[in-house]
Amino acid sequence: EDQVTQSPEALRLQEGESSSLNCSYTVSGLRGLFWYRQDPGKGPEFLFTLYSAGEEKEKERLKATLTKKESFLHITAPKPEDSATYLCAVRHFGNEKLTFGTGTRLTIIP
């Protein structure tokens, strides 16, 4: 069974203070690792898909990286509007289902 563990559960940063969120996963035959952002009272918003170890993707202040066991979401010089819960999910070959972690709640303090 696919498993996803995210850490830390919550993270408070000062505006401009860079950091990383971790997503550790166990899956037989990875067919995509997904990062979503979820604001309070809203549905998850798609950020990135990573397919193979060594792959990296960037969007504004966010950069996602992937190894064979984990993914990192690096946030550089964050702003208060980056405050949200960041969810990681995996999918394995032969199944469309996403298995999600419990998320990291990120708060950026002005």
Partner 1 sequence: EAGVAQSPRYKIIEKRQSVAFWCNPISGHATLYWYQQILGQGPKLLIQFQNNGVVDDSQLPKDRFSAERLKGVDSTLKIQPAKLEDSAVYLCASSSGASGSQETQYFGPGTRLLVL
Q: Which residues bind partner 1 (CB under 8 A)?
A: 4, 32, 34, 36, 41-46, 49, 87, 89, 91, 95-98, 100-103
Least separation, in Å, of the C-beta of 100 and partner 1?
3
In the complex with partner 1, which residue's Cβ is closer, 3 or 67? 3
Least separation, in Å, of the C-beta of 97 and partner 1?
5
In the complex with partner 1, which residue's Cβ is closer, 15 or 39? 39
Least separation, in Å, of the C-beta of 1 and partner 1?
11
Least separation, in Å, of the C-beta of 32 and partner 1?
7
In the complex with partner 1, which residue's Cβ is closer, 7 or 18? 7
Instruction: Report the distance separating Cα 38 and Cα 32, nearest Å.
Output: 19
Residue 7 to residues 10, 68, 70, 95, 110, Cα–Cα distance (Å): 8, 17, 11, 26, 23
DSSP state of 103: -
- Distance from CA of residue 92 to its chain's centroid? 17
* Residue pair 56/79 in contact by the 8 Å Cβ criterion: no
In the complex with partner 1, which residue's Cβ is closer, 76 or 83? 83
